[in-house]
A = this chain, B = another copy of it.
Amino acid sequence: MRLARLFPVLDWGRQYNRDTFTSDLIAAVIVTIMLIPQSLAYALLAGLPAEVGIYASIAPIILYAIFGTSRALAVGPVAVVSLMTAAAVGEIAGQGTADYLTAALTLAFMSGAFLVLLGIFRLGFLANFLSHPVIAGFITASGVIIATSQLKHILGIPAEGHNLWELVASLVAHLGQVNWTTVAIGAPAIAFLFWVRKGMKKALTRLGIKPRLADILTKAGPVLAVAVTTLVTWALSLTDKGVSVVGEVPQGLPPLTTPSWNPALWQELLVPAILISIIGFVESISVAQTLAAKKRQRITPDQELIGLGAANIGAAFTGGYPVTGGFARSVVNFDAGAETPAAGAFTAIGLLLASLLLTPLIFFLPKATLAATIIVAVLSLVDFSILKKTWEYSRADFIAVLATILVTLGFGVELGVTSGVALSILIHLYKTSRPHMAIVGQVPDTHHYRNVLRHDVITYKSILTLRVDESLYFANARFLEDKLQAEVAANPDIRHVILMCPAINEIDMSALESLEAINEHLRDMDVTLNLSEVKGPVMDRLKRSHFLDELTGRVFLHQHNAVQELLKPPQTMPTYDI
């Protein structure tokens, strides 16, 4: 049973039969066709040789099939992680050098190891730090940067930059050198791929082709673009006219590689590795959850961390780079009917064959075609509507999104995502640092106590009752201190303070010490501190401290009871004098 949890393959593997095999095989063929151009393109985006994209899709898929819990997730290179890899590794080595390759492998290994650690220690909750709006903003901004960065391949000019402005400036500076032959390939490729996405399926069905076949043909659209532009480039010898092509791609199995163990390199890659892991995980788990729901299946987040981690470690030892569960490929896999992770394994075999047999054919594949594939893919990720949505729904979230987008565009991906995370935590702590509190009074003829600002209630000059509608912890403990001190200093008639606690689920050590300070301050002002309607678990914990011994007032089960007791003339109250 426990082994089955670590190796979900033992679970679905037992029920594997001919039907599922057929479904999986068909899905694998479709996904393989789709993955070939995409993998080459994303490797290029990451600044790596094209074949690295294929390598990064083989071992990781198999490892995920063994350790992952999603039945349909397809793991491999994706756009945003490729961009982040380029940003991180580009800081360390020049593109095309052996160091660049090693750094990418190391990044994959570190990111894999980090994910596995998170999984083992059940720290998947860390991914929650990335709020949805921050992710949406980050992905949109990354999409803009990626699309812009690929324009150089379409225009056939060099352009470099770590952020949008640098990229645009660099593109503009080189505008005079545009290679129009390259544009003549890239621009139609973009147009065609957009049509593939938006209109091809409809057009094919209108021509009488069956929907299922039309679907498969549509998915093969990018392969068609690759084939046609490669052929044209070869036939017309366009390389002589300055069209960049993929060139020599080694034919063979993925190489066995090892990451670097150099501590200095590890230190430099630490932050990017963490960010890539978390962003990859968040993207992957959202996809996995969406697909699992469609079949009432369950995925286990902590096991997903181990699955993704294993995939990345696998990438590190087989010439790949950081990978994650991609949205597009997973949906295709699911729609194509994949029933089990075996579909992934078959895809891996397909890609293995491709890397063994097909690589000579892509010598003349223009980089412009790959860039077109990327541009069309990422523009579907760009969605500024999150700004409008958050503006309408919650200003706090709007600020976090806006900051994420602007910082990502202006200062790059790493700073963008960290500032988004930091800002949303800050905003959250700010909001909970001022919890809702109400001064309450008795609703006439009842035992209910309600907010004095909203209801006509009975209050007494000598008693102040404050209801706190949030757990007390370090971020809001001082606020309660300030609030009480201000109220009591302003109303010299107050003799008793009652804290009404039905909504307090927790009191941490800071809040306990604040309560002790409040108790002491109130004692100095000759005011007693009382509690009412304290929840059981909170009371249990308070009993473990000295607070209740030092409390100047009492703890009441019911608010009404508290008021009645405290209203009695002082001589009937037990005092130290008696």
Binary contact readout A455-477 vs B (1 if CB under 8 angstroms, 0 otherwise):
00000000000000110011111
Question: Which residues of B are found within 8 Å of A320, using beta-carbon distances?
Answer: none
Q: Considering the chains assembled together, what is the distance between the CA atoms of A131 and B512 in angstroms? A: 11
> Knowing A393-B541, A474-B424, A541-B393 touch, does A297 contact B128 (C-beta < 8 A)?
no
Interface size, chain A (Cβ < 8 Å): 72
A434 within 8 A of B: yes
Question: Which residues of B are found within 8 Å of A522, using beta-carbon distances?
Answer: 293
A492 within 8 A of B: yes
A436 within 8 A of B: yes
A520 within 8 A of B: yes
Question: Which residues of B are found within 8 Å of A488, using beta-carbon distances?
Answer: 296
Q: Which of B293, B392, B508 contacts A394 (CB 8 A)?
A: B508
Least CB distance from A15 to B in Å reads 17
Q: Considering the chains assembled together, what is the distance between the CA atoms of A286 and B541 in angstroms? A: 25
A130, A473, A479, A522, most chain B CB atoms within 10 A = A473
Q: Which of B132, B293, B513, B545 contacts A509 (CB 8 A)?
A: B132
Q: Considering the chains assembled together, what is the distance between the CA atoms of A524 and B289 in angstroms? A: 12
Q: Considering the chains assembled together, what is the distance between the CA atoms of A293 and B434 in angstroms? A: 21
Stretch with Cβ within 8 A of B (4 or more), from A86-94, A222-230, A425-433: A425-433
Q: Considering the chains assembled together, what is the distance between the CA atoms of A490 and B298 in angstroms? A: 9
Q: Is the interface of A mostly helix, strand, loop or mixed?
A: helix
A133 within 8 A of B: yes
Q: Is the CB of A393 within 8 A of B509?
A: yes
Least CB distance from A340 to B in Å reads 17
Question: Which residues of B are found within 8 Å of A191, using beta-carbon distances?
Answer: none
Q: Which of B428, B433, B485, B513 contacts A292 (CB 8 A)?
A: B485
Q: Considering the chains assembled together, what is the distance between the CA atoms of A478 and B128 in angstroms? A: 7
Q: Is the CB of B506 within 8 A of A431?
A: yes
Q: Is the CB of A125 within 8 A of B392?
A: no
Binary contact readout A499-516 vs B (1 if CB under 8 angstroms, 0 otherwise):
000010110111011100
A290 within 8 A of B: yes
Question: Which residues of B are found within 8 Å of A505, using beta-carbon distances?
Answer: 436, 469-470
Question: Which residues of B are found within 8 Å of A554, using beta-carbon distances?
Answer: none
Q: Is the CB of A132 within 8 A of B474?
A: yes
A480-498: which have CB < 8 Å to B? 481-482, 485-486, 488-490, 492
Q: Which of B297, B390, B486, B508 contacts A397 (CB 8 A)?
A: B508
Q: Which of B129, B293, B476, B506 contacts A128 (CB 8 A)?
A: B476
Question: Which residues of B are found within 8 Å of A424, using beta-carbon distances?
Answer: 474
A357 within 8 A of B: no
Q: Is the CB of A428 within 8 A of B509?
A: no
A133, A428, A485, most chain B CB atoms within 10 A = A428
Q: Is the CB of A128 within 8 A of B429?
A: yes
Q: Is the CB of B475 within 8 A of A128?
A: yes
Q: Is the CB of A544 within 8 A of B297?
A: no
> Knowing A128-B433, A128-B474, A521-B289 touch, does A394 contact B509 (C-beta < 8 A)?
yes
Q: Which of B125, B428, B476, B489 contacts A434 (CB 8 A)?
A: B125
Least CB distance from A399 to B in Å reads 11
Q: Considering the chains assembled together, what is the distance between the CA atoms of A128 and B482 in angstroms? A: 12
A127 within 8 A of B: yes
Q: List 17 A-B contacts (CB under 8 A).
A: A128-B476, A128-B479, A131-B508, A131-B510, A132-B474, A133-B513, A289-B517, A292-B489, A293-B525, A294-B524, A296-B524, A296-B525, A298-B489, A301-B478, A393-B544, A393-B545, A397-B508
Q: Which residues of A contact B (CB under 8 A)?
A: 125, 127-133, 285-286, 289-290, 292-299, 301, 389-390, 392-394, 396-397, 424-425, 428-431, 433-434, 436, 469-470, 473-479, 481-482, 485-486, 488-490, 492, 503, 505-506, 508-510, 512-514, 517, 520-522, 524-525, 541, 544-545
A-B contacts besides A128-B475, A428-B508, 20 pairs, CB < 8 Å: A128-B476, A128-B477, A128-B479, A129-B429, A131-B474, A131-B508, A132-B509, A133-B513, A293-B524, A294-B521, A295-B524, A296-B492, A296-B524, A301-B482, A389-B545, A392-B544, A393-B509, A394-B541, A396-B508, A503-B503
